[in-house]
Structure 1
């Protein structure tokens, strides 16, 4: 046997899986010295014959230039008898016109390239990605002596092509400058087909628009102008959510809580985002979040964000946070950000001069600096079915405790006015595609904050629809926490599904007894994607050290997220 059978037979296995369901025409590959193999089936005789021709080309590319495949048709079976012939190799091949950089990288046709076809393909790819998309390669003066080949390889590069500014087709609002920065196609750099394909994949990941077909390239005066046809997505959001929960001040009655969520994306077609979110957590507690993001600041690779948040916790305290964040795309899926954050807390009700010890809340100021990152490998930025994402951040800085005039001075004795405080968070989510109508979503999250003098209004706030369901929003205080969310999703539309879920967490709060809490929750819900927006309904039951498992504490949330 003159060549390895292991190379040939797998070629017949590269058959689309959907053809196996209709076994109409079989193909058997027969090589001298190898036992007869089982048939592989195709829909038609034409497809089987095409596969035979492809197999022959693969054999010849391995150096068997005189290889032949004899076809014998018997009923519904095609028998391929392989006659390989001798292996030809290159003895003398003049490469004076071939770029030296390519020869040094790939070597000469020979042991690694018994036939020149693959070597020529690599050479053309080399030229195409260095500004010569119209390069040609020819073999001249071919000589044959036995199984030894000789000849001359002529390479004609053609004109050097460089990138020009890209163009946008259609009625998309996206600006050319933003798309140019996002694509990473640099004007004046040599044309590269690989770079174009890479840029296309980057644009397909954008949440702001989708690509309509592959890009077109117009060549004018040694310039390449890529043309992208975009279709804008409906991303702007107005969300109103209503929740019903027991009124702690009036037993037996329900308290209606609410949330307003306004998100404006890609304003002016420049990747500019604005977010406004307001929540009423209970009778006296409210939260406000404002966020502004500017992409590719001053045409640089940097993104900039400014974020402000305010939380009023009944009559106990008010917390404020101001963040300035700069982000940079380190890879196709990786994003790195650096930030500075100032957090402040102030007491509302000090408790009067009758205090004998410091309250669990404190007046403080915390200036911190941190680094964060995200690696996103989801198949869709909006409605993922498979893939995973991981994000996290770490911050450290000096915290200063302020003496409140409403609290006796002697209670602050022995308490360090300034100290170093650190904080870290990590979140991992995984989407598992099981069947077209069945999928799973799993998320794990954790966080820790460390300082020798920690107070309740400095701790993490978790609980609610975005963390541990079955509890009020920001229900738990935690110095350390970890939780996992698991959902089974039954899809009845592209982005609509029924779900059942379970959440499990472990929390550490030094001000509670016992300080370790292990809350869990479960329930079901529906997400319904419509032309105008997303309707959601969730019913959840939860249990913790301070909330029993009871239908009296069930959480029902529903809302309509309108996109425009």
Structure 2
């Protein structure tokens, strides 16, 4: 009997404990004292309710209800926490002591209402941090209370004025300190600014050459601040070999193997020096070569200088060459502006079969000297493998074109042709990355361009088509005076940089030497990008249709390659 009694008592105690643990805690308040609209939040744990009551208390006290508090009212199985406003305090007078005049000009004077002095203090201390005074203090002293009116003296102590020391790099990055100094814009001897430090960290995180590990550190010594950045070099150097299998148009039933070599070397010597080489074999007789080199912050100025050379041999018809000289300047963390001078030259290769023609051939000998401006606005979340964000690029150039008379063609063919005339062109590209789920994303890109002159010839036109523009066609298959195309791509991720793709490309191309002049190519297909320890393997199968190519598996294009990053 005694045992049964003890067991019963134990169960009752346990039941009371459980019931107490399940007590509801209700927090109730109104936005203003006169409001009849009650705001209610329910909690099962007192610690959770304390977070919101502490937060609300701070908000109301900042509004001037210094005596406000939460009153506890137990009700059955509910603990009611009800806010009582109390008196509303306001400031009668705030005197200023030692506050610099430039602070008052920038921020204005503190008002007479209660929140203003303390909000003004927060803004003033932030302003001080960005004016070389990170150790400044600002307090209200000699506080007096008369009824619900407050009076006090706002006292400012500037502390030592801090300037920037040279920055320091930790980690195993090869980055040169002087290069990072230019990128960060933290000039030794300049006034310390917390805001400037945060912007520098953001800029460094977006660098294509290296990443920032953690937050930057600061050390202070002899009134100087030394920022320390821990950097990790990215694997951005590229060696890319691509092989394409195409139907051989010269020998029926056989396959033509085309190729491309892409070498990109970045951040050479840790100074932002870049070099790239791209070679393509488009078909049996056609090849293309591009060389580029860039030097960042030339002579420690904010300018980048780059040079480029390209050559295109189109079977036995013509050869094009161009040389470009470019100045670039970072206008912001996202924007890059460049000015360039480009000289293009085109020459006919064989004129024997053209000498008896009664009109000029579609290609011609010319020289074009142009001056232009370009903009790159990059809001992508990563310079290497973006998942979110957008990017816009565009160029516009204007110059004088001269048509040269070829001695292999009859002189009368050039009669009435303007030897020298103005010519201009523009190009733009906009892309958007959409991250829908952890394993699903989309990539959308639109590209367009135009070329304007009263006498345009085939070897001056834009060239597009292939893996990097409109897939499902030979590389540089289309000649275009004006063009536009849209890339739509669904990506199914199964790793950070590995994904399956399903895509469609839609384009419009104007070629005055084609019939019809307006072509509307489109393509679709699938592929895979596979990220490995050594690099990126890609495989794409595309089927395209244009006015010159029917939609058929026999005209499908297979591109596969291996992009090695190191």
TM-score by length of 2: 0.92
Query: Which residue of 2 is the match for residue 219 of structure 1?
Result: 220
Query: Which residue of 2 is the match for residue 549 of structure 1?
Result: 551
2:341 is the alignment partner of 1:333: no
Structure showing greater Rg = 2
Which runs of no fewer than 5 residues in structure 1 stay unpaired?
A: 1-22
2:308 is the alignment partner of 1:307: yes
CA distance in 1, matches of 2:210, 2:74: 52
Judged with a 3 Å threshold, the aligned counterparts in structure 2 of structure 1 residues 112 and 383 are, in CA distance, closer, same or farther, namely: farther
Query: Which residue of 2 is the match for residue 10 of structure 1?
Result: none
Query: Which residue of 2 is the match for residue 241 of structure 1?
Result: 242
Query: Which residue of 1 is the match for residue 483 of structure 2?
Result: 481
Judged with a 3 Å threshold, the aligned counterparts in structure 2 of structure 1 residues 194 and 25 are, in CA distance, closer, same or farther, namely: farther
Q: Secondary structure of the residue that 1:39 maps to in structure 2?
A: strand
Judged with a 3 Å threshold, the aligned counterparts in structure 2 of structure 1 residues 98 and 435 are, in CA distance, closer, same or farther, namely: same
CA distance in 1, matches of 2:75, 2:534: 59
2:422 is the alignment partner of 1:423: no
**Deviations 1:438-479 (CA, angstroms, capped at 9, x unpaired):** 111111111000000000000000111111110011000000
Structure 1 residue 433 displacement after superposition: 1.6
Bigger mean CA deviation after superposition, 105-114 or 527-536: 105-114
Kindly indicate whether the alpha-carbon contact (under 8 Å) linking 1:420 and 1:451 is maintained by their aligned counterparts in 2: yes
Query: Which residue of 2 is the match for residue 444 of structure 1?
Result: 446
Structure 1 residue 151 displacement after superposition: 1.1
1:128-277 → structure 2 map (5 Å cutoff) = 128-277=129-278
Kindly indicate whether the alpha-carbon contact (under 8 Å) linking 2:391 and 2:430 is maintained by their aligned counterparts in 1: yes
1:491-510 → structure 2 map (5 Å cutoff) = 491-510=493-512
Structure 1 residue 70 displacement after superposition: 2.9
CA distance in 2, matches of 1:477, 1:344: 17
2:66 is the alignment partner of 1:62: no
Structure 1 residue 39 displacement after superposition: 3.2
Query: Which residue of 2 is the match for residue 85 of structure 1?
Result: 86
Q: Secondary structure of the residue that 1:159 maps to in structure 2?
A: coil
Kindly indicate whether the alpha-carbon contact (under 8 Å) linking 2:89 and 2:114 is maintained by their aligned counterparts in 1: no
CA distance in 2, matches of 1:28, 1:236: 59
Structure 1 residue 332 displacement after superposition: 1.3
CA distance in 1, matches of 2:244, 2:524: 17
Query: Which residue of 1 is the match for residue 467 of structure 2?
Result: 465
CA distance in 1, matches of 2:428, 2:344: 20
Structure 1 residue 26 displacement after superposition: 7.1
CA distance in 2, matches of 1:225, 1:477: 55
Judged with a 3 Å threshold, the aligned counterparts in structure 2 of structure 1 residues 77 and 382 are, in CA distance, closer, same or farther, namely: farther
Structure 1 residue 115 displacement after superposition: 5.5
CA distance in 2, matches of 1:468, 1:226: 47
Kindly indicate whether the alpha-carbon contact (under 8 Å) linking 2:139 and 2:155 is maintained by their aligned counterparts in 1: yes
Judged with a 3 Å threshold, the aligned counterparts in structure 2 of structure 1 residues 234 and 73 are, in CA distance, closer, same or farther, namely: farther
Kindly indicate whether the alpha-carbon contact (under 8 Å) linking 1:488 and 1:499 is maintained by their aligned counterparts in 2: yes
Judged with a 3 Å threshold, the aligned counterparts in structure 2 of structure 1 residues 61 and 115 are, in CA distance, closer, same or farther, namely: farther
Kindly indicate whether the alpha-carbon contact (under 8 Å) linking 1:170 and 1:230 is maintained by their aligned counterparts in 2: yes
Judged with a 3 Å threshold, the aligned counterparts in structure 2 of structure 1 residues 113 and 463 are, in CA distance, closer, same or farther, namely: farther
Judged with a 3 Å threshold, the aligned counterparts in structure 2 of structure 1 residues 411 and 71 are, in CA distance, closer, same or farther, namely: farther
Judged with a 3 Å threshold, the aligned counterparts in structure 2 of structure 1 residues 110 and 390 are, in CA distance, closer, same or farther, namely: same
Structure 1 residue 25 displacement after superposition: 8.3
Bigger mean CA deviation after superposition, 523-532 or 73-82: 73-82
CA distance in 1, matches of 2:77, 2:348: 86
Query: Which residue of 2 is the match for residue 407 of structure 1?
Result: 409
CA distance in 1, matches of 2:62, 2:489: 50
Kindly indicate whether the alpha-carbon contact (under 8 Å) linking 2:326 and 2:339 is maintained by their aligned counterparts in 1: yes
Judged with a 3 Å threshold, the aligned counterparts in structure 2 of structure 1 residues 257 and 112 are, in CA distance, closer, same or farther, namely: farther
CA distance in 1, matches of 2:471, 2:127: 55
Judged with a 3 Å threshold, the aligned counterparts in structure 2 of structure 1 residues 78 and 211 are, in CA distance, closer, same or farther, namely: farther
Kindly indicate whether the alpha-carbon contact (under 8 Å) linking 1:237 and 1:562 is maintained by their aligned counterparts in 2: yes
Kindly indicate whether the alpha-carbon contact (under 8 Å) linking 1:30 and 1:82 is maintained by their aligned counterparts in 2: yes
Query: Which residue of 1 is the match for residue 560 of structure 2?
Result: 558
**Deviations 1:469-515 (CA, angstroms, capped at 9, x unpaired):** 10011000000001111011111111111110101011111001110
Query: Which residue of 2 is the match for residue 392 of structure 1?
Result: 394
Q: Secondary structure of the residue that 1:202 maps to in structure 2?
A: helix
Query: Which residue of 2 is the match for residue 15 of structure 1?
Result: none
1:337-356 → structure 2 map (5 Å cutoff) = 337-350=338-351, 351-356=353-358
Query: Which residue of 1 is the match for residue 538 of structure 2?
Result: 536
Judged with a 3 Å threshold, the aligned counterparts in structure 2 of structure 1 residues 110 and 538 are, in CA distance, closer, same or farther, namely: same
Judged with a 3 Å threshold, the aligned counterparts in structure 2 of structure 1 residues 530 and 194 are, in CA distance, closer, same or farther, namely: same
Kindly indicate whether the alpha-carbon contact (under 8 Å) linking 1:88 and 1:114 is maintained by their aligned counterparts in 2: no
Kindly indicate whether the alpha-carbon contact (under 8 Å) linking 2:389 and 2:434 is maintained by their aligned counterparts in 1: yes
Judged with a 3 Å threshold, the aligned counterparts in structure 2 of structure 1 residues 136 and 154 are, in CA distance, closer, same or farther, namely: same
CA distance in 2, matches of 1:35, 1:236: 63
Kindly indicate whether the alpha-carbon contact (under 8 Å) linking 1:239 and 1:260 is maintained by their aligned counterparts in 2: yes
Q: Secondary structure of the residue that 1:95 maps to in structure 2?
A: strand
CA distance in 1, matches of 2:82, 2:391: 50
1:30-109 → structure 2 map (5 Å cutoff) = 30-31=29-30, 33-37=35-39, 39=41, 45-71=46-72, 79-109=80-110
CA distance in 2, matches of 1:375, 1:224: 32
Structure 1 residue 71 displacement after superposition: 4.8
Q: Secondary structure of the residue that 1:344 maps to in structure 2?
A: strand
Structure 1 residue 434 displacement after superposition: 1.1
Query: Which residue of 1 is the match for residue 361 of structure 2?
Result: 359
CA distance in 2, matches of 1:206, 1:335: 13
Q: Secondary structure of the residue that 1:405 maps to in structure 2?
A: coil
Kindly indicate whether the alpha-carbon contact (under 8 Å) linking 1:304 and 1:324 is maintained by their aligned counterparts in 2: yes
TM-score by length of 1: 0.93
Judged with a 3 Å threshold, the aligned counterparts in structure 2 of structure 1 residues 373 and 76 are, in CA distance, closer, same or farther, namely: farther
Aligned length: 541
Q: Secondary structure of the residue that 1:274 maps to in structure 2?
A: strand
